[in-house]
Structure 1
Amino acid sequence: MPRPFKEELDAARLKHVLFKSKLRSYLYGSGIDDAPIRDPRVCALGQWIEQIGRPQFRHLPEMQQLDELHEEMHREANRLLDLYGAGRRDEAVAGLSGVNRLADMLTDLLDTLEAKLRTEGR
């Protein structure tokens, strides 16, 4: 039985926070695996979008927007990882502000999804 939409969206929020944490940790030299940062299909939120988000919420335009914004976040994260790999650590770390802007937009979309689903009576 699927979880209620509130629980699903809370799970997505947690996965999103995990992504931001991994990116920040990597840029500060933790040496963690970069695959979940680089590949939107490997990260936990990308898996949630594929397995839960699209199947359950595809009828809402915000789900498509969330998917696209998620891809954009990974493109920006890849840019920062490339800067870091090129020895431009300070520039990469400074770029976190752009990722944070995208992350806030993604959180807002999750909030909008939740509000719309609540009005649908799900």
Structure 2
Amino acid sequence: MKNVISFNHEIKDASEKIASTSKFLKLAGYKVDHIIFKSNAYRTIFRLGKGKEFFSDHRSCNLGKWYYSEGMKSYAHLPEFIQLSEPHELVHRYAEENLRIIEVPDPMRALIKNANRLRENFEKMEAASMKLFHLIDGLIEKLKNNSHSLEQLEVYQLQKA
């Protein structure tokens, strides 16, 4: 019987580690999504608007969908989570601003005329992206350190209900 109980605890521990790793991979995956988003933003501008179908706003991308649903329910009490919102929105905003600049009848002329503004927007997009990635890494570390136990999270969620 002692072996069965021990084995049961080992299975529970392994299951919890897998679930925890899954959360971390999901968050890391959002960073990859935004690297691809930024690459598409650059490509779309320099292809004069071709590829704009890859653009999404900050609420429609995978991170945005998670942030405003599952993430908000589970992590709204963490400052590291709340701080994700602004830089995430800015990454999308600056890419979208650049797209609007070239969505004109003569996109090549707009590209040349607005080269400095496009560059500035891309620099701002990159700065916001770096901040976003840093915050995601901080959230992952916070969850790894598990300074907020599952019991604390459950109490917080019950208080909200």
Aligning the two structures, in what range does the TM-score lie when normalised by the shorter sequence?
0.7 to 0.9
Cα offset for 1:63?
Answer: 1.2
Which one has a bigger Cα radius of gyration? 2
Q: Gaps spanning 5+ residues in structure 2: where?
A: 1-14, 150-161
Alignment partners' CA distance in 1, 2:75 and 2:37: 22
| Structure 1 vs Structure 2 CA RMSD | 2.6
2:87 to 58, 64, 69: 69
Matched, 1:36 2:55: yes
Alignment partners' CA distance in 2, 1:19 and 1:56: 26
Cα offset for 1:103?
Answer: 0.5
Cα offset for 1:84?
Answer: 2.2
1:10 to 21, 28, 37: 28
Distance 1:35 1:108, change over 3 A: same
TM-score w.r.t. structure 1 length? Answer: 0.79
Match of 2:132 in 1: 106
Cα offset for 1:20?
Answer: 1.1
Q: Residues 61-114 of structure 1, C-alpha deviation per residue, up to 9 Å, x if partnerless? A: 121110222122222222211222254322454131211111001000001111
Q: Gaps spanning 5+ residues in structure 1: where?
A: none
Match of 1:120 in 2: 146
Alignment partners' CA distance in 2, 1:24 and 1:35: 11
TM-score w.r.t. structure 2 length? Answer: 0.63
Matched, 1:84 2:102: yes
Distance 1:12 1:51, change over 3 A: farther
